[in-house]
């Protein structure tokens, strides 16, 4: 197997469309993979992708969830961190259209780090959904993550 992005414009685009339809103004990542335990993978175990999202001034928190787009036993989780505050969310069932619960990290404006991990070695595919908002839930300016994570495993 080789590391690849699957279905970039498929699920990601449909999620984006759904977000627009529900007026959520959510941001989504491209569909990315976690890849471990293969001869050509960067790590044998513990693949982790690292992302950064910037929340504009006036933001109170980052809200995020993760969609595991691959069925199988391995679960995908996303942990967001900033200034000694963190929250973790896990998609308990891969391969369906139900994402993990939304969680919040209330650490104000600035750069949040998001780390996506898998519970078992192998290959997982996932899409992040996230946005920044004020303390009353009004969406604030949120950076769009790049096509690939800062650490890509
Ligand atoms: Ca799911």
Q: What is the pLDDT of residue 9?
A: 43
Q: How far is the CA of 58 from the centre of ligand 1 (A)?
A: 32
Q: For residue 130, what are the CA distances in angstroms to 4, 10, 43, 96, 120? A: 23, 18, 27, 19, 24
* Residue 115 three-state SS: strand
In the chain, what are the domains?
11-140 (2.60.120.380)
* pLDDT tens, per residue, the chain with 153 residues: 455 555 444 445 455 444 443 435 679 999 999 999 999 999 999 899 999 999 999 999 999 999 999 999 999 999 999 999 999 999 999 999 999 999 999 999 999 999 999 999 999 999 999 999 999 999 999 999 999 999 999
Report how far ligand 1's centroid is from the alpha carbon of 108 (Å).
Answer: 29
How many angstroms does the Cα of residue 64 sit away from the middle of ligand 1?
14
Regarding pTM above 0.95, the answer is no
Ligand 1 center to 70 CA (angstroms): 9
CA of 150 to the centre of ligand 1 (A): 24
Q: Which two tokens stand for residue 81?
A: 């961190």
Cα 100 to ligand 1 centre (Å): 6
């Amino acid at each position: 197997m080789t590391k690849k992005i699957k279905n970039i414009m498929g699920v990601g685009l449909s999620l984006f469309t759904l977000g627009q339809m529900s007026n959520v103004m959510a941001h989504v990542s491209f569909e990315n993979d976690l890849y471990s335990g293969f001869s050509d993978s960067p790590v044998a175990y513990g693949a982790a992708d690292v992302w950064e999202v910037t929340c504009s001034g006036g933001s109170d928190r980052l809200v995020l969830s993760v969609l595991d787009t691959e069925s199988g036993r391995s679960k995908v989780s996303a942990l967001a961190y900033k200034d000694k505050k963190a929250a973790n969310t896990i998609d308990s069932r891969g391969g369906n259209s139900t994402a993990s619960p939304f969680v919040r990290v209330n650490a104000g404006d600035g750069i949040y780090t998001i780390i996506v991990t898998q519970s078992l070695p192998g290959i997982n595919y996932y899409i992040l959904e996230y946005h920044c908002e004020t303390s009353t839930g009004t969406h604030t300016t949120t950076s769009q993550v790049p096509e690939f994570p800062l650490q890509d495993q």
